[in-house]
Structure 1
């Protein structure tokens, strides 16, 4: 499954909001430097979709707020 994610770093609390079937807004409390925010997004998506972090791959948007992730379901 491929999803689009809009990341909002430096948020007050962490949450995932489903906007459309394949579009999500993810708020993280960490700063977007050295991939910290990307790691946190993968962590949150892992919990949300109940899949291991190793099954979530960032396809596009490493330095952008708009990202595309591939989630390989079990």
Structure 2
């Protein structure tokens, strides 16, 4: 199961975010009613004025060793379900795929 979608040179990563959590972590997969897979992420930040969105971008950037400026929110600004674009991620899929796979296996 691969939770990402390649879009040209970029990767689109669907994420189900839980804000206001005690820990910041990425791991596990949530499947919606249509069968789509969403990577689970938890951040301490509250969902107020974009704080949780910025926190999940920072968490993914640190976890993937990728520049924060190259990760952007595609959809889900005020929703728990988000699609994040990792600019240039497709060219580094050999390095990123094993990291994302460990998150998927952490169910």
| Stretches of 4+ aligned residues off by more than 2 angstroms | none
- Aligned alpha-carbon RMSD (Å): 1.6
Residue in structure 1 matched with residue 40 of structure 2 by the alignment:
25
Deviates more, 1:22-31 or 1:61-70: 22-31
What is the TM-score with the length of structure 2 in the denominator? 0.63
- Asked if residue 54 in structure 1 is aligned to residue 69 in structure 2, the reply is yes
Q: What is the CA distance between 1:18 and its match in structure 2?
A: 4.2
Count, aligned residues = 73
Normalized per residue, the structure richer in helix is 2
- Asked if residue 10 in structure 1 is aligned to residue 8 in structure 2, the reply is no
5+ residue gaps in structure 1?
A: none
Larger radius of gyration: 2
What is the TM-score with the length of structure 1 in the denominator? 0.89
The Cα offsets for residues 4-28 of structure 1, whole Å up to 9 and x where unpaired, read as: 00000111111001428x7311101
5+ residue gaps in structure 2?
A: 1-10, 31-36, 93-107
